Structure 1
Amino acid sequence: MKTPRRQFLGLSTGLLTGGLISNAIASRVAAQTPGEHPEWANPVHRVANAPSVPKASVPQDEPGKAALRRGLEMARQSLEISRNDVRDYTAILVKREQIGGTVGEHEYMMIKVRNRKVSGGQLIQPFSVYIGFLKPAAVKGREVIYVENRNDGKLVAHEGGFKGRFLPTVNLPVDGMLAMRGQRYPLTEIGVEKMIVKLIERGEKAMRHEDVTCEFRKGAKLKDRVCTVLEVTQPTQRPDAEFYQAQVFMDDQLNMPIRYVAYHWPDQPGGQGEVIEEYNYLNLKINVGLTDADFDPTNKDYNFYS
């Protein structure tokens, strides 16, 4: 399956969406964890030891659909929590994507996000994003800011490293050619809440097909966070199917998804498909009190105009 891809100065945005894990693929998950970093090394571990959910806890339903139906319920509850209770958050986003048939290396970025909030039909908090790239060296130091309904709808960005000494800060349309170079999704699609919406959309689509299978695992870990994992497998490669297998890690304490990885159909039966996209939200901290200054390019802690 070839999924449409678009991209930006190297800006790494991404959306997270769903899946569950079995012992047969535990080694694959462990082998494809984000690259080493002194602070965030080996974020996924002990997945193989995650026990299956007891059958009695899964309601009787059509074959293969009970777990997916339950997963959709979890996702809808998570979306309600995000919309009602989550004002803002920070995290280390670790992502990799397949672009032009090639799976890129993991990219690390520090992100700050304020969720869109509406009251009485009025926008009281615009969707806002700050991204500071940490590694690899090719993107380290790059910064990006986007605030809904500001700057004529454009993002503000500058390069890091050696190039950043000579290239100016630029304003770019979020869906323009430069902003989309090397990206699967525009910057406006980044974030946990946007990921949940996509999870629901893809789950509802998968529910239409009889051969889709799902299963749960409890007690998996993403770095130091205990998670419930849902794995969805679509054995038939239909035109509207976006993945062969997808895994979603739902943080048990936060009731929010913090990891999504999807795979292509394998070339051989029982083989391993290539990664399509992978997004990990590490050290997710909710309602930290972000202010307008966190999304201001003139902030002295940033380097947009230095």
Structure 2
Amino acid sequence: MKHITKSFRLVASAFYRIAYKLHHKLFLRPQPQLRVPVFIVGSYLAGGAGKTPFTIWLAKHFQEQGKKIAILCHSAAWDEFIMIERKFQSAKSTQIKVFATKNRYKTAKEIQDKFDIILCDDGFEDSRFTGAHRICLDWQEPPQSIASLLPSGPFRSLKQDHDETEIIHLDCVGNNGHCVNSPAINFSIESITNFAAGKPLTATAICGLGNPKRFVEDIRTFGINVEKAIVRRDHDKRFHQIVQAELAQDKNIVISQKDACRLQQSLLAHPKLHTAIQKITVSDNILKKLL
């Protein structure tokens, strides 16, 4: 049965590959370069690479320089839009603005004269952005075979689909990760709400991220005893119902900051609901690679 499932997924990946190439040929042909710098934070991974947290980090850097920044999210990633918007609620409205759009290039073209920098959260495969600074968050070697593509594997595109000379590769590592080279970015859990470090806590991890396994490992490293993990799909609109059902059983629950964006404030205030606050540590030489 496993062999049949694997074969089916491989065939599905082959069809995905055909659709990917056709879509790019018909709809994502390179377009005229925009008049302002465009930074695209992406990854070969379909999800779970840390694109949104790093987008926020990069936006803060440009904000400190006094730049006017437009951050573009895909409208389907509504929780990421909320997460970024909340991070910059206190920022001057004229300095940072977050857009949810189905067409990043069209939106970028329309607003380019109003901002100093356009920053895309994802959009790594959008080949319309000629001359963009493409940042790739790497957790492993770039994929090169069809078996690595969705749904057989976790990747959306292959190494040969991109001009590697245009890509800035940044090695990433998590709490328990190891990197051959010194990592450019380290993702870790800084704190967990409603939790005192050093005290025992047994909880259910509910995760709607692209890499739930890494999230569970990270909170275990922080000291949480994870007795059960519930995995939901990315951008899950039923996430709040799942959380409510577990809380009704008097369970402690740990969720990510992104997943917290799917919940009402009244639910976030529940004493048994814990949000893992992520910390990003970026190497000193990273800005030299980016600018």
Same fold (TM over 0.5): no
The structure where helix makes up a greater share of residues is 2
TM-score (norm 1): 0.23
TM-score (norm 2): 0.24
Give the number of the structure with larger relative contact order, counting CA–CA contacts within 8 Å between residues 6 or more apart: 1
The structure where strand makes up a greater share of residues is 1
